[in-house]
Amino acid sequence: MKKITIVFSLICILILCTVAVYAKEAPKDNDVTLINNAEITDVDQLFLRAKNGITDCDVKPFIKNEKAFLRSQGDSKELQTYSTAQVLKETKKQNGSTEKTIAVTTFVIVPLGGGSYNDEKPDSTGAVVAYSTRYWSTITDSVNNTCYLLTRASGGWRIEDAQVSLSSRKVIYNCNGAGADGGPAVTTQHVTKTPTSNTFSYSTGFTKYVCHGFDLGFSVGVSTEVKLTRGTANWYLFFDNFIS
């Protein structure tokens, strides 16, 4: 019985020592998750948020170069856009930086006239609603410098007029500029897609963060193009959503 007690005591000591060594060697994670929200994906709900100016954070840094143009028969008209942002996650890192996951959705109502803006007033209600969501991972350091990584692009074109058809769809997304690590400029994160349906969703596969700097090649965001046809009239919508 005495031998059993001694063996049991030795086993307990061994376990305690092992736990102590592991606890000493295991890294201490001081990252703090401040926000962890479920994403709103309903297009109608997002549209209402954008139209009413409801947003989780300031959208201006993400739409500095945001434009929508409708062209037909040599005429071009810039259309109004509406944007909303969702902060899906925010983490305070151990090194003092802040990492965020942000989804920015932008809408444009596309009115169609008789084929030219010079000969007929466009519909006020809109024949098509185009929308684009960009998913960003951002890192902001302790002196407020922010770097960006575009992780996903989604969106589409919703037809409100049954007489309208869409074709020649194109989606371009890129994330190029000064590298966050101070190395050479990132120039290869550029993809062109040609979706065959009126919705799209692409994981970019990009891995390198880029930052604002003196690099003139800073180009971060998503652009879409589509041809709209009603009867014998055609229009072309160009929808750009870039940070800069």
Give the total number of structural domains in the chain: 1
The verdict on residue 12 lying in a domain is no
Alpha-carbon distances, residue 99 vs 38, 70, 176, 220, 244 (angstroms)? 17, 37, 19, 18, 20
pLDDT number for residue 178: 87
- The CA-based angle 130-76-120, given to 5 degrees, is 90
Residue with tokens 């290869």: 188
**Given this model, what pLDDT does residue 215 score?**
56
Q: Is residue 121 part of a domain?
A: yes
From 44, 132, 142, select the one nearest 92 (Cα to Cα).
142
Residue 18 belongs to some domain of the structure: no
Tell me the per-residue pLDDT of 122-138, one tens digit each, with 9 for 90 and over: 444 689 999 999 999 99
Structural contact between residues 136 and 62, judged by C-beta atoms closer than 8 angstroms = yes
Q: What is the pLDDT of residue 118?
A: 39
Burial 40-72 (b: 16+ CB within 10 A, else e): eeebeebbebbeeeebbeebebbbeebebebeb
The predicted structure's pLDDT at residue 114: 54
Q: For each of the chain's 244 residues, which pLDDT tens digit applies?
A: 544 444 445 444 444 444 444 334 444 468 899 999 999 999 999 999 999 999 999 999 898 889 999 999 888 999 999 999 999 999 999 888 899 999 999 999 999 865 444 333 444 468 999 999 999 999 988 778 889 999 999 999 999 999 999 999 999 999 998 888 777 888 899 999 999 999 999 999 999 999 876 555 788 999 999 999 999 999 999 999 998 7
Give the model confidence (pLDDT) of 95-131 as tens digits: 888 999 999 999 999 998 654 443 334 444 689 999 9
In a domain, 153, yes or no: yes
Asked if the structure places residue 136 within a domain, the reply is: yes
pLDDT of residue 184: 81
Query: Do the domain assignments include residue 109?
Result: yes
Q: With respect to residue 3, please indicate whether it lies within any of the assigned structural domains.
A: no
Indicate whether 14 belongs to any domain.
no
> What is the domain range of residue 83?
29-242
